[in-house]
């Protein structure tokens, strides 16, 4: 795509390193679209993480993944060697019921176990409690988001930048709502202040979608601010809270406390708050594709029903196997082990990055991501795409920040983006993989420095 005619709101246009970069041209071409197949829109074919994996595959990633350090995939380590963590099932017993089609809202025993977990951890002493009818089980977080989108009325839907890449595809699929971006400020750590929510509601936004804890910045909104946000939304806006990283909370000294908006709900059937979570992240079982939505019964009934034409529901044997994992005391002990282990990995990665000269302005207090600013690096590797390309050459995968600048309607040029000079780096993998990946990043900086000195 030619740069002629591009309009920039804040920048001076593409730099030489962008114009001459193969990976930049590849990104642009992938988003132009083509018509060798009349029914195909290739721009909808992949999320940011998948696009990055496809580029890594072109460099041999799938030939021998063990030789690579994948710090891009948003997945935690799945091994059983975390001290204090319960052992994951290695076999699944298939009951006679498990051979049949399951309810598209999930099996009742699992729905009841999820409701019980929320009541035990977040609804103690409250009159209004969740029941199995407040829970829909869905085949993964994306499927949950798609179901929610399918049952929304015509609305302005507010979302924040930066945020989870898959929102981009979901927000672009449906025409029953208008998605309106709201950029957050880097200066205050991309924090969602109650005033920001108040402004959204004042301009007519009636649905608000956000991750909390936040992907990719690794920050969490907790009480009392979270309660203030929910008070503002009550009777005014539907609040969709992606809480997949609620267990990765380092703000309470790794005592097992999880962060959830369920804590502040007054009436579980009246407060328009939909919570999305699952086994994927904090139970470290991304391959199971067992997730859930918790909310008012009326919402959940619609969300459960639309699964009949969207995804068909969640694998029944895995639902049955998930039930004993959700016993509240077991979960609390699991969260203590998880938080201690991942906080230690976070501190190791931050230490290595500081030693390499990176300036970490906002220490992540949740998730397993670091939103890494590249702007202090030399031209040529100080933007996410070019740095990503250099990482591939060292068998390291990261995700360019540009993918977290959600732009579902493609109404603006992403290269004029506040996320352009960032990458998301995951410390979800094992310590061995983290060391390998950081060694690769260290080689990039040394090689670039040596090349620059030779040229000058």
The pLDDT of residue 170 is 75
Min mean pLDDT across 40-44, 277-281, 298-302 is at 40-44
452 pLDDT above the threshold of 60: no
8 band by pLDDT with thresholds 50, 70 and 90: very low
CB 114 within 8 A of CB 253: no
The pLDDT of residue 412 is 57
60 pLDDT above the threshold of 90: yes
CB 42 within 8 A of CB 407: no
Mean pLDDT calculated for residue range 352-366: 93
7 band by pLDDT with thresholds 50, 70 and 90: very low
Q: Which residue has the tokens 């991304």?
A: 286
Min mean pLDDT across 308-312, 419-423, 447-451 is at 447-451
Mean pLDDT calculated for residue range 206-215: 94
The pLDDT of residue 129 is 98
12 pLDDT above the threshold of 70: no
Q: Rounded to an integer, what distance in angstroms lies between the CA atom of residue 251 and that of residue 381?
A: 33
CB 385 within 8 A of CB 398: no
Cα 12 to Cα 6, 185, 285, 416, 451: the distances in Å are 10, 21, 45, 9, 27
E-only strand ranges, 165-221: 177-183, 207-211
Q: Which residue has the tokens 């204090």?
A: 84
The pLDDT of residue 415 is 61
The pLDDT of residue 334 is 97
30 band by pLDDT with thresholds 50, 70 and 90: low
The pLDDT of residue 358 is 94
**Tens digit of pLDDT for each residue in 391-437?**
999 999 999 998 888 776 565 565 677 888 999 999 999 999 999 99
378 pLDDT above the threshold of 80: yes
The pLDDT of residue 456 is 45
The pLDDT of residue 39 is 67
């Amino acid at each position: 795509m030619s740069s002629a005619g591009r309009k920039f709101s804040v920048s001076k246009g593409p730099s030489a390193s962008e114009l001459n970069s193969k990976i930049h041209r590849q990104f642009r071409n992938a988003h132009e679209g083509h018509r060798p197949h009349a029914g195909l829109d290739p721009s909808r074919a992949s999320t940011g993480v998948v696009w990055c994996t496809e580029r890594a595959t072109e460099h041999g990633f799938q030939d021998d993944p063990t030789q690579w350090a994948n710090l891009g995939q948003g997945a935690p380590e799945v091994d059983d060697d975390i001290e204090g963590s319960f052992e994951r099932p290695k076999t699944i017993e298939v009951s006679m019921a498990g051979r049949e089609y399951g309810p598209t809202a999930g099996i009742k025993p699992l729905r009841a176990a999820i409701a019980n977990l929320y009541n035990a951890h977040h609804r103690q002493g409250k009159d209004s409690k969740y029941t199995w009818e407040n829970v829909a089980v869905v085949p993964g977080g994306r499927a949950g988001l798609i179901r929610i989108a399918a049952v929304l009325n015509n609305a302005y839907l507010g979302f924040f930048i930066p945020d989870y890449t898959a929102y981009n595809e979901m927000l672009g699929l449906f025409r029953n709502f208008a998605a309106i971006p709201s950029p957050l400020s880097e200066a205050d750590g991309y924090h969602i202040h109650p005033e920001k929510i108040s402004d959204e509601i004042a301009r007519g936004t009636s649905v608000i979608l956000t991750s909390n804890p936040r992907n990719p910045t690794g920050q969490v909104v907790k009480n009392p601010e979270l309660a203030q946000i929910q008070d503002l939304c009550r009777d005014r806006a539907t609040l969709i809270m992606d809480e997949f990283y609620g267990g990765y909370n380092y703000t309470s000294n790794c005592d097992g406390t999880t962060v959830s908006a369920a804590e502040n709900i007054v009436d579980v059937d009246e407060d328009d708050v939909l919570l999305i979570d699952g086994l994927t992240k904090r139970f470290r079982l991304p391959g199971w594709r067992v997730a859930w939505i918790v909310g008012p019964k009326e919402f959940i009934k619609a969300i459960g029903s639309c699964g009949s034409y969207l995804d068909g529901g969640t694998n029944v044997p895995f639902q049955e196997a998930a039930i004993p994992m959700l016993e509240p005391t077991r979960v609390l002990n699991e969260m203590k082990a998880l938080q201690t282990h991942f906080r230690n990995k976070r501190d190791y990665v931050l230490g290595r990055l500081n030693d390499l000269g990176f300036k970490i302005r906002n220490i992540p207090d949740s998730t397993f991501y670091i939103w890494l600013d590249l702007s202090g690096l030399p031209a040529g590797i100080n933007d996410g795409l070019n740095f990503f390309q250099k990482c591939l050459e060292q068998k390291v995968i990261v995700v360019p920040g540009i993918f977290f600048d959600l732009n579902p309607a493609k109404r603006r040029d992403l290269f004029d983006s506040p996320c352009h000079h960032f990458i998301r780096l995951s410390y979800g993998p094992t310590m061995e993989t983290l060391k390998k990946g950081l060694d690769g990043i260290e080689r990039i900086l040394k090689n670039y420095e040596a090349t620059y000195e030779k040229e000058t």
